[in-house]
Amino acid sequence: MRGYWDSILNFSMENNVFLTWEKMAPSVNHMKKEHSLKILCAYEGDRIVGIAPFRKTRKSVAGNFGYSIIEPLTNGNTDYTGMIMSEQEKEILNQFLEYLFKQKDWDLFYFPDLPSKSSTLELIMQNRKELPKCKIEKGWVCPFLPLPNSKEKLLAGLRRKFRKNLERQMRKMEREQGKIELKNYYELGSLEQGMKILFKLHQKRWKAKGGPGKFGIEENRNIAMKTAQLFAQKDWLRLYFLTVNDKPVAAFLALEYDRKMYGHLCGFNPDYSQYGVGHLLLLKIFEKCIEKGITEFDFMQGSESYKFDWTRKYRQSINVRFVNKRLSSKVINFLVKTTTTSYILIHKILRKVISQQPFLHF
């Protein structure tokens, strides 16, 4: 599907980098045994005008008991989801749902992380009376920073105390450590070398927080590396490093698409945390964005405090859940919903506790 996937996406109301073929492909190559593809295509004559990139996941509960969920293909490995519809969006959405609800091989259809301005979400909201019954819930908070046309305006929009801290930390680091620069991955060598540095810095940051870090697992490194290679081929990848005397001390992997930049992964050497290297790196990235005419930086999922040092603006992602009409599916939905509610409560408590630990701040 590579030859026409992104060309259809270009005409879709929901055109973002997380729905590109390049984002989807590595997930297919690393699918686990409990996953199977469920990619639906809508046709107008012999033309494909819609793509619903789903997978079916089998969840085991106890013994041989389990249930099946239809979910986005990249669920768990992306911040935003959606469907690709280049025309006749309402009709295509209805066709996709009608097709799914004729199937007997699933219990729940879970659609998490829909952006608040998603055309998929808008269609669901507008046509709820005509569609199968669904549950709509708030998802992640997604902060974003509208970028002005100059560094001076950017700094002027920050809280005075935060702005002064940035200036002080930059001077202190230059005085005590040496020359500070923003560098692209190709200035440090190859993309593979740059990604390995990112993995190392990301792991260092998480170990300092007392966590395992996602790149301690080889499969996660392989998926990230392959995705980065595909994005780099399309010139969407932005892998930046803050260097001190040419030594990388902080890294940020971002994606540039349609005049927006999405902050994806970061890491830094905890030995330099006293200088706020994460913020210094972001400042230099924002300056680079302004030079290039980027209009917005999306921090993506999560309400971490460092994001709100830069902005007070955010969007709310939305989760949508459909339940198969079978009685067994309705019972499963009740049990899953009860368990999920308990999990969310525990998760919120843990996030609040973690956010109050100063040594965890970016």
- What's domain 2-141+315-359's architecture? 3-Layer(aba) Sandwich (3.40)
What pLDDT shows up at residue 356? 44
Measured in whole angstroms, the distance separating CA 345 from the mean position of its chain's CA atoms is 22
User: Is pLDDT of 337 > 90?
Assistant: no
Residue matched to tokens 């801290």: 165
108-143: burial string, b at 16+ Cβ within 10 Å, e else: bbbbbbbbeebbbbebbeeeeeebeeeeeeebbbbb
Kindly report, residue by residue over 96-146, the tens digit of the pLDDT.
Answer: 999 999 988 999 999 999 998 898 999 999 988 888 889 999 999 999 999
User: Is pLDDT of 345 > 60?
Assistant: no
* Three-class DSSP category at 7: helix
52 forms beta bridges with 40
In this structure, the number of other CB atoms found within 10 A of the CB of residue 207 comes to 13
Closest of 48, 53, 52 to residue 26, by C-alpha: 53
139 contacts 132 by C-beta, under 8 angstroms: no
pTM: 0.86
Kindly report, residue by residue over 283-325, the tens digit of the pLDDT.
Answer: 999 999 999 999 999 999 999 999 999 999 999 999 999 998 8
The CATH 3.40.630.30 domain(s) of the chain lie at 2-141+315-359, 148-294
Residue matched to tokens 């395992």: 212
What pLDDT shows up at residue 354? 38
What's the CATH code, domain 148-294? Answer: 3.40.630.30
* Tokens, residue 211: 């966590």
